Chain A
């Protein structure tokens, strides 16, 4: 783990200079705001743009505060993940392509330290982002709908964070293994197609990392078994560690892909 601190500082500085610490959290905050707002003002929005016929009546579902947090998590799952993966997927492969890696790989750094420093910085950005997203969502929910249980929030927050760690690990592993274009395709396939498959035929199994995002809330509602939750958590963490390991190995092997 030679030079881990130095590399960590470099990564932090780079993330800071490219404003990643500012705009990704802001995007997540926006996503968190959107769901409570649109649900609350749905009737007004329909009246304003929907061409609702005279005498039309609609029964709106009675939403609980927890439902809105779940809806916000749904937003993070699609657009949030898209933004996050799109900005992270070039982390290693782009450095190889534009020659920056030449400067680094010529020095006696350990690949594990380099990979982990990237992982740590990205997970920090993720943490700040979903903190902003949850804060925005909770703010609007508590203004418009009612107060939330703090325990449910903490559980769903940490569960979602573990799922995001898995996403980052997959993204970085792909970035270490392939060129940027292929890495993007593969990472998106694993995360999004995985979600779709889980949505379509997911009723046949109860333990999978892709289910974890919705388990945080479901655990609090008591609609799932506790053992399923814990097993999914353990498997996700294990897969994260495996992805990191593969990523380090692939990074070392692909060091010859550098363009000078």
Chain B
């Protein structure tokens, strides 16, 4: 198991994972704070968590209702 983990090229993958996690957390925090979204809130929670990268980006572009 550990050898398998060591074989993964972390220098290549780590930044991608970090960016992905930051985007997801920020989107979720914002979703928690915001008053209303375009479409039901629970839907956006699922989109952000499961459609990983594109989900959070889509939330920031079309999900936030600015008022």
Could you tell me which A residues sit within 8 Å of B by CB distance? 18-19, 22-23, 26-27, 29-30, 33, 37, 83, 86-87, 90, 94, 98, 136, 139-140, 143-144
Is the Cβ of A83 less than 8 Å from the Cβ of B66? no
Nearest Cβ distance between residue B58 and chain A, in whole angstroms?
Answer: 10
Is the Cβ of B19 less than 8 Å from the Cβ of A87? no
Is the Cβ of B26 less than 8 Å from the Cβ of A19? yes
Interface of A is mostly: helix
Q: Which of A18, A86, A143 contacts B11 (CB 8 A)?
A: A143
Q: Which of A22, A30, A83, A144 contacts B61 (CB 8 A)?
A: A83
Nearest Cβ distance between residue B9 and chain A, in whole angstroms?
Answer: 9
Could you tell me which B residues sit within 8 Å of A by CB distance? 11-12, 15-16, 19, 22-23, 26-27, 30, 53, 56-57, 60-61, 64, 66-67
CA A30 – CA B21 in complex, angstroms? 12
CA A27 – CA B60 in complex, angstroms? 11
Cβ contacts under 8 Å, A33 to chain B = 15-16, 19
Given known contacts A29-B19, A30-B53, A140 and B60 CB-to-CB distance under 8 angstroms: no
Nearest Cβ distance between residue B7 and chain A, in whole angstroms?
Answer: 14
Q: Which of B12, B30, B67 contacts A19 (CB 8 A)?
A: B30
Interface of B is mostly: helix
CA A27 – CA B12 in complex, angstroms? 17
Is the Cβ of B15 less than 8 Å from the Cβ of A139? yes
CA A146 – CA B64 in complex, angstroms? 41
Given known contacts A83-B61, A86-B61, A98-B67, A26 and B22 CB-to-CB distance under 8 angstroms: yes
Is the Cβ of A23 less than 8 Å from the Cβ of B56? yes
Given known contacts A30-B53, A83-B57, A94-B66, A22 and B15 CB-to-CB distance under 8 angstroms: no
Nearest Cβ distance between residue B37 and chain A, in whole angstroms?
Answer: 13
CA A29 – CA B15 in complex, angstroms? 10
Is the Cβ of B60 less than 8 Å from the Cβ of A19? yes
Is the Cβ of A144 less than 8 Å from the Cβ of B12? yes
Q: Which of A30, A86, A87, A140 contacts B12 (CB 8 A)?
A: A140
Q: Which of A18, A22, A37, A83 contacts B64 (CB 8 A)?
A: A18
Is the Cβ of A26 less than 8 Å from the Cβ of B23? yes
CA A27 – CA B61 in complex, angstroms? 11
Nearest Cβ distance between residue A12 and chain B, in whole angstroms?
Answer: 16
Cross-chain pairs A/B with CB under 8 angstroms, 21 sampled: A18-B66, A19-B26, A19-B30, A22-B26, A23-B27, A23-B56, A26-B19, A26-B23, A27-B57, A29-B15, A29-B19, A30-B16, A30-B19, A30-B53, A33-B16, A83-B57, A83-B61, A87-B61, A98-B66, A139-B15, A140-B12
Apart from the given pairs A19-B26, A23-B57, 7 other A-B contacts in the complex at a CB distance below 8 Å? A18-B66, A22-B26, A26-B19, A26-B23, A30-B16, A37-B16, A140-B15
